[in-house]
Amino acid sequence: MEQDRHIYIRGVINDTSHKITLPKFEMKKSNQTIIQHMSRFFEYLDIEKGVSNKTQETYSRFLQSFVRWLEENNLKELKPHQLTEDHIWKYRVSLSRRVNSKTKEPIKKSTRNYYLIALRALLSYFADRDIFSLPAEKVKLTKEGKERNVKFLELDQIIKLFSSIDTSTRVGLRDRAIMETLFSTGLRVAELVSLDREQIKIKKDTDILEVVIVGKGDYPRTVYFSKRAVNALRNYLNTRKDKEKPLFIRYKGPKTSSKRLTPRSVEGIVKKYAKKAGIPITTTPHTLRHTYATDLLAQGVDLRVIQEFLGHRNIATTQVYTHITSQKLRDIHREFHSGKNMKEE
């Protein structure tokens, strides 16, 4: 066997009457370094896998970390077939020691896994191109534990949050419309800021609204605006005399750049009112999404329906909310049906 080729057998089918041997295929050692393969990898994601631009940007950001690690460890000339499990282990150790620049705490296990998932995708690309390298399954993800910490708001906190907004100004009307939309639809913040005015067709007699959006992974879904959200949007749009395309725009900043609000801007808006309302300042747009889902489940809505509402591709992602509602039910049972008013026999 030539040194630069690794031959594998796809599989053999046997039964009592005949035998079929499937053809062999060759895994070739590449002359290019892992870093040199990056541009082709992203072309592959775009053209063959149809991965959205947003996902490509995310993979690029996480793989840049791996590239920097290779460079810092004098491995920038490393080729796919030279990558070992020891390299992977050392990279995982470096991730475990990485510190969040804002919190000064080690990055979360879930965040570490995002870096590793991006690396897995690169190794899967090598396998798909018959380039000899480590199998993707050799990159083990960090165990996150059984329970995920999901933060959500109680109804009284939602009321305080909305009530803290001064709707006598156009900025206040915009911010109230943002809050009502997030809570009514369960939109991700990136989906919210991507909305355009032409999608929101509110007539004089409109009290509920259905809008088809293209969400994460370029998957379309329908989101539903409540009467409250429709009224908030109507009040906000009545103040708009401009011809800007975005639904939610900024009123300050450079005149030459886009008026569309960014996800970071919306995060700042939510945080500002959370602080003003006296609720946890860790409240984010995603907290309102969690609150939306938790409220639906508590009201008895089927988990599969909530999965559709949220745009989750996998039901396992939605099941995290069952723990939250189960805990609430346990607390209610303990408080109201514990038999505390009964005498011990």
| pLDDT class of 110 with cuts at 50, 70, 90 | confident
Just list the catalytic residues. Answer: 188, 216, 286, 289, 312, 321
* 118 CB-near residues (< 8 Å, 6+ apart): 58, 59, 62, 63, 66
Looking at residue 324, its pLDDT comes to 60
Of 143, 139, 138, whose CA–CA distance to 108 is shortest? 143
Average pLDDT over every residue of 204-226? 90
Looking at residue 195, its pLDDT comes to 97
Of 10, 30, 42, whose CA–CA distance to 125 is shortest? 42
Range 155-334 classified under CATH 1.10.443.10: yes
Note whether 5-138 and 155-334 share their fold: no
Residue 187 has pLDDT above 50, yes or no: yes
Domain limits, the chain: 5-138, 155-334
**Cα dihedral angle (308, 180, 266, 98), rounded to 10 degrees?**
-50
The listed CATH number (1.10.150.130, 1.10.3980.10, 1.10.3720.10, 3.40.50.300) that belongs to domain 5-138: 1.10.150.130
As a whole number of Å, the end-to-end CA separation of the chain is 82
Distances 87 to 92, 114, 134, 333 between C-alpha atoms, Å: 9, 18, 11, 51
Structure tokens at 206: 């409109």
* Beta bridge mates, 75: none
Q: What is the CA radius of gyration of the chain?
A: 26
Structure tokens at 222: 């329908």
Place of tokens 């591709």: 313
Tens digit of pLDDT for each residue in 26-37?
789 999 999 999
User: By CB neighbour count within 10 A (0-12 exposed, 13-18 middle, 19+ buried), where does 330 fall?
Assistant: exposed
Average pLDDT over every residue of 274-282? 91
pTM: 0.61
Q: Are 225 and 185 in contact (CB under 8 A)?
A: yes
Residue 14 has phi, psi (to 5 degrees) of -125, 145
